[in-house]
């Protein structure tokens, strides 16, 4: 299921972009052909929404998030998502258990460090998770990525910074943890420290629906459970969600209708339309 | 509020089917006339969705799920739903307290053994709940029912088996616990061990929306709090959800729109249309 | 950001109504100009819905609800919502910590005493929270307000009483705790003990969607974080939600579609349309 560098170069329309549009379509075709089982240890706000996003995209979500089962279940999962939205003492224990299993089995895992920085307890939790082993992908908004890299972070769950401002921090974070960092924003920036891809699809109404970013973390985990290259996985998920958002925004830019349309569009995105509609740079 | 065997025979259009279509319509009329208070101890993924399904159908949900109140509240509820989707240590305690009260008061209770089998801890929890006393109805997918009957279970929360393959296990489970077992799938199978009803309404898009099965468990509890015969209760709930799904699928088979339409259709299903549109065998 | 008594009298179309329609529009304009950060410690059923209501209205939700962070985070929030829908031992501790910080910092906080009365544990929790300091606003249905004032309360989460029947209890509760009490129902009653406002917008389908009342509590917190007069804050939130509901009910009175339309309408309500469409008495 890996995509060689050669394939990517061949399918990219612009040799300077490290991920080609067709590689993203191919990743989606693989995901649909063999739906990855994605263990989500996520927050109470977005649990339903994340599951519905994964189902609409074609993946198989499983929210096994208690400390008695999370470590065991991670051994069966194709990928693990750890989202720090509403962590509790017990779920923190479940997260550590799941990540320990994932690292031991070389199962891909994704860290979504919601609101790290201003909140010391979850920031320590994020670092404790990183100390178990490198995540496959870290996804956050610019403030979260800056905070994880040593900055001060945002206010609440919203970013005060732009992805462009966080790119240097993202690149050094990627190199430090040998991971891929996806910085969400008006233009999404995805980097492994050496290669950086920008995805410029999407619409501002996405910020008016809770959990769109969290759902992106779940979708990145689904793709990380599908393809070997984490840069492709993170880019494919970002492309799929934002291409679907482009379609949904044509139906409605009012938040209730948009959220419904986003699920509809996710189920409609084909490998071909993904490759055609994504705007990479 | 009980339906005699005679009534059912009279209203059934096919004497070989143990539950008649009109008995289901009558059950819905009773539910709407006197909305049952359904205590749901369910998972964080589907809590909102299950409450909305119950409200749309005409029941009164109450998610009292902490260990300090669950046992007390069960004494006031018309029915109790226990769903093992995301159990924690504290909610496990709440579940045991609520079931203990329900059994003591002969209040109907429904067990939805989500993902039992591969996960040992919740499988033990399911058996601990069953040891308190017989549930009124057990609802699960085929893999869950096979696992509860002693098989190995599915992968994650999805079924790897068909309801037909699980029917023997369902029948013996029903006899062992003196309960009704509802096996969800393309064709739903509902059995008390001796009598078996099949409902063949519904649409595959139901599997693309998280929590449709969990909501069925909640709806079965609502009907179990309305009519005395658990076979009618489980069949009426299954019929209502799948007849509504038939209607919703006419509006849209895209998952976001379908989920919205399903709630709309649940509020629209009348006793007459339920009896007319259900496909029993 | 305060509205003087003089302003309110001038903008009111009826001098006998203590809050004028234009003051509500002005409050919404302020909220949109400077989105308040609303910390919500709420229940698992409505967490997503409440966040989406706040986002659609123009506020910034943050569901920081664990006991390690809730007290700290309240120091940064513009307002705190405490909703007793599904409290656990740990979230009870988080609530007490957040309210302690809010009271110490004079940060507005709102208490939504879901299902107090019949459930002793959460009723004690409500009184423990009130003992920390006066909330800015208490929002509940009539049974909850009667119960908090010493009555027996409702059955489950639904009210058995009308707002009119609870008005005397609401007024004495407001005076006892130096707070504003908002009693939700067909006609919403909002009182500080001396002044009482009635809002008669809204539609019965609101009771068929879970969490509309809970979302009102969150919206009241958002306005309490925006304007100084709690009577205006509670009235503005009630007006905004019910005016939006009026609009949504024109699209659909089926519960699934209505809920989607309600979010759409919340994002569409302008200060001008709010002032024009609200029915105050």
Q: Quick one: average pLDDT of B116-137?
A: 97
pLDDT category, A16, cuts 50, 70, 90?
confident
Q: By percentage, how much of chain A surpasses pLDDT 70?
A: 91
The answer, yes or no, to whether residue C23 has pLDDT greater than 70, is: yes
Q: Are C247 and C270 in contact (CB under 8 A)?
A: no
Q: Quick one: average pLDDT of B217-245?
A: 98
B85 and A63 within 8 Å at the Cβ level: the answer is: yes
pLDDT number for residue C162:
84
Q: By percentage, how much of chain B surpasses pLDDT 70?
A: 91
Angstrom distances, CA of residue A30 to CA of A96, A109, A197, A218, A229: 29, 18, 21, 17, 13
- pLDDT tens by residue, C121-135: 999 999 999 999 999
C68 and A121 within 8 Å at the Cβ level: the answer is: yes
Report how far residue A129's alpha carbon sits from residue A82's, in angstroms, rounded to the nearest whole number: 9
Q: Which two tokens stand for residue C120?
A: 């002793």
Domain CATH number, residue C105? 3.40.1190.20
A76 and B118 within 8 Å at the Cβ level: the answer is: yes
- Chain B hits for C89, CB-CB cut-off 8 Å, are 66-68, 90
Q: Which two tokens stand for residue A4?
A: 């060689």
pLDDT number for residue A1:
29
Q: Which helix (H) or strand (E) holds A220?
A: helix A212-224
Q: Quick one: average pLDDT of B234-261?
A: 98
**Closest residue of B to A54, CA-based?**
B208
pLDDT category, B154, cuts 50, 70, 90?
low
- Chain B hits for C248, CB-CB cut-off 8 Å, are none
Residue from the list B48, B55, B76 with its beta carbon closest to the beta carbon of C255: B55
**Higher-confidence position of B66 and A7:** B66
B47 and C48 within 8 Å at the Cβ level: the answer is: no
- pLDDT tens by residue, C67-100: 999 999 999 999 999 999 999 999 999 999 999 9
The answer, yes or no, to whether residue C6 has pLDDT greater than 70, is: no
- pLDDT tens by residue, C231-279: 999 999 999 999 999 999 999 999 999 999 999 999 999 999 999 999 9
The distance of C188 to chain B (nearest Cα, Å) reads: 22
A48 and B115 within 8 Å at the Cβ level: the answer is: no
The answer, yes or no, to whether residue A154 has pLDDT greater than 80, is: no
A48 and C52 within 8 Å at the Cβ level: the answer is: no
DSSP state of C115: T
Q: Evaluate whether residue B246 is within a structural domain.
A: yes
pLDDT category, A165, cuts 50, 70, 90?
confident
The distance of A215 to chain C (nearest Cα, Å) reads: 13
Residue from the list A48, A119, A254 with its beta carbon closest to the beta carbon of C264: A254
Q: Quick one: average pLDDT of C208-219?
A: 98
Q: Are C88 and C65 in contact (CB under 8 A)?
A: no
In total, the C-beta contacts within 8 angstroms joining chain A to chain B are 93
Q: Quick one: average pLDDT of C150-169?
A: 75
pLDDT number for residue C156:
62
> What chains are in contact with C, requiring at least 3 Cβ pairs below 8 Å?
A, B
Cβ-Cβ contacts under 8 Å for A243 (sequence gap 6 or more): A201, A265, A269, A273, A274, A277, A278
**Closest residue of C to B90, CA-based?**
C88
Report how far residue C167's alpha carbon sits from residue A106's, in angstroms, rounded to the nearest whole number: 62
Helices (H), chain C: 5-11, 21-33, 47-57, 70-74, 89-105, 120-132, 142-148, 163-177, 212-224, 230-251, 255-268, 271-277
The answer, yes or no, to whether residue B245 has pLDDT greater than 90, is: yes
pLDDT number for residue B4:
37
Q: Evaluate whether residue A2 is within a structural domain.
A: no
Q: Evaluate whether residue B8 is within a structural domain.
A: no
Strand partners, B217: none
Q: Are B246 and B201 in contact (CB under 8 A)?
A: yes
Q: Are C195 and C178 in contact (CB under 8 A)?
A: no
Q: By percentage, how much of chain C surpasses pLDDT 70?
A: 91
Overall domain count for chain C: 1
Q: Are A65 and A105 in contact (CB under 8 A)?
A: no
- Chain A hits for C244, CB-CB cut-off 8 Å, are none
**Higher-confidence position of A39 and A118:** A39
Report how far residue C184's alpha carbon sits from residue C142's, in angstroms, rounded to the nearest whole number: 7
Q: Are A177 and A169 in contact (CB under 8 A)?
A: no
Q: Evaluate whether residue B198 is within a structural domain.
A: yes
pLDDT number for residue B12:
44
Q: Residues of chain B whose C-beta is under 8 A from some C-beta in A?
A: 43-46, 48-49, 85-89, 115, 118-122, 155-158, 207-211, 252, 254-257, 259-260
Question: What is the rounded average pLDDT for all residues in chain B?
Answer: 93
Strands B37-41, A60-62: pairing kind:
unpaired
pLDDT category, C5, cuts 50, 70, 90?
very low
Q: Evaluate whether residue B164 is within a structural domain.
A: yes
Least confident segment among A74-83, B15-24, B85-94: B15-24
B208 and A55 within 8 Å at the Cβ level: the answer is: yes
Backbone angles phi, psi at A217, to 5 degrees: -60, -45
For residue A118, the enclosing domain spans 22-277
pLDDT number for residue A156:
62
Q: Residues of chain A whose C-beta is under 8 A from some C-beta in B?
A: 37, 44, 47-48, 51-52, 55-56, 60-69, 72-73, 76-77, 90, 259-264, 267-268
- Chain B hits for A63, CB-CB cut-off 8 Å, are 43-45, 85-86
The answer, yes or no, to whether residue B213 has pLDDT greater than 80, is: yes
The answer, yes or no, to whether residue C181 has pLDDT greater than 50, is: yes
Strand partners, A189: A183, A198
Q: Evaluate whether residue B15 is within a structural domain.
A: no
**Closest residue of C to A120, CA-based?**
C69
A263 and B255 within 8 Å at the Cβ level: the answer is: yes
- Chain B hits for A68, CB-CB cut-off 8 Å, are 89, 121
Strands C188-191, C180-184: pairing kind:
antiparallel
Q: Evaluate whether residue A51 is within a structural domain.
A: yes
pLDDT category, C154, cuts 50, 70, 90?
low
Q: How many alpha carbons lie under 13 Å from residue B78 in its C-beta half-sphere?
A: 22
Q: Quick one: average pLDDT of A93-112?
A: 98
Is the ipTM, as predicted for this complex, more than 0.90?
Answer: yes
The DSSP annotation for A98-117 comes to: HHHHHHHHT--EEEE-TTBT
The answer, yes or no, to whether residue C9 has pLDDT greater than 50, is: no
pTM: 0.93
Report how far residue C128's alpha carbon sits from residue C249's, in angstroms, rounded to the nearest whole number: 39
Q: Evaluate whether residue B215 is within a structural domain.
A: yes
pLDDT number for residue B31:
98
pLDDT category, B150, cuts 50, 70, 90?
confident
The distance of B100 to chain C (nearest Cα, Å) reads: 18
- Chain A hits for B49, CB-CB cut-off 8 Å, are 48
Q: What is the largest CA-CA distance in chain B?
A: 48
The answer, yes or no, to whether residue B11 has pLDDT greater than 60, is: no
In total, the C-beta contacts within 8 angstroms joining chain A to chain C are 92
**Closest residue of A to B206, CA-based?**
A55
The DSSP annotation for A162-199 comes to: -HHHHHHHHHHHHHHHTSEEEEESSSEEEE-SS-EEEE
């Amino acid at each position: 299921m890996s995509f060689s560098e050669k394939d990517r170069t061949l399918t990219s329309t612009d040799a300077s972009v490290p991920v080609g549009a067709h590689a993203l379509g191919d990743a989606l075709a693989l995901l649909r052909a063999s739906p990855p089982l994605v263990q989500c240890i996520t927050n109470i706000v977005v649990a339903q929404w994340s599951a519905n996003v994964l189902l609409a995209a074609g993946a198989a979500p499983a929210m096994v998030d208690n400390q008695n089962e999370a470590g065991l279940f991670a051994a069966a999962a194709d990928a693990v998502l750890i989202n720090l939205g509403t962590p509790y003492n017990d779920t923190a224990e479940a997260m550590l258990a799941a990540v320990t299993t994932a690292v031991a089995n070389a199962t891909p895992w994704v860290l979504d460090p919601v609101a790290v920085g201003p909140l010391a307890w979850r920031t320590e939790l994020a670092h404790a998770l990183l100390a178990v082993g490198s995540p496959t992908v870290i996804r956050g908004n610019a403030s979260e990525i800056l905070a994880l890299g040593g900055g001060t972070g945002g206010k609440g769950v919203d970013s005060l910074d732009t992805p462009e401002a966080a790119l240097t921090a993202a690149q050094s974070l990627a190199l430090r943890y040998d991971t891929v960092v996806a910085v969400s924003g008006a233009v999404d920036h995805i980097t492994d420290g050496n290669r950086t891809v920008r995805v410029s699809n999407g619409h501002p109404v996405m910020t008016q629906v809770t959990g769109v970013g969290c759902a992106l973390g779940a979708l990145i985990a689904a793709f990380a459970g599908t393809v070997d290259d984490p840069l492709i996985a993170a880019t494919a998920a970002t492309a799929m969600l934002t291409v679907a958002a482009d379609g949904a925004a044509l139906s409605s830019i009012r938040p209730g209708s948009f959220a419904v349309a986003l699920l509809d569009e996710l189920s409609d995105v084909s490998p071909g339309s993904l490759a055609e509609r994504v705007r990479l740079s």
